[in-house]
Amino acid sequence: MTTGQEWLVDASGCAPERLKDAAALAALFEEFIVLLDLKVVGQPQWHVFPEPGGITGLTLLAESHLTIHTFPEHGFAALNVYCCRTRARPDFEALLARHLGAASCHVRELKRGVTA
């Protein structure tokens, strides 16, 4: 029985200044929320680390969650999207290039569920 899908996305070659910009990350989250027709529960949470650190963000969804961890010192972001209902795969490469300046993305998709 499938209980959803999860995307694990590693974005490399990102613009360090965007990885430290909570507004840029919030805009990325908003585009995912609209694109995937997700329902936000509560307020998104953002933790900004001291220099040279990045930001960790979490949006709780009725469908599960959307998270990001950024590492500006490495030009890297780790994104996680988990949806309890199947959805079409977003164009992660284009979205992360536009919002974070990512040069490349490695996307892994996992089908989540119960095995008998």
Residues tagged active-site: 64, 69, 84
- In a 10 Å sphere around its CB, with 0-12 CB exposed, 13-18 middle and 19+ buried, how is residue 88 labelled? exposed
* Cα dihedral value 72, 45, 64, 105, nearest 10: -10
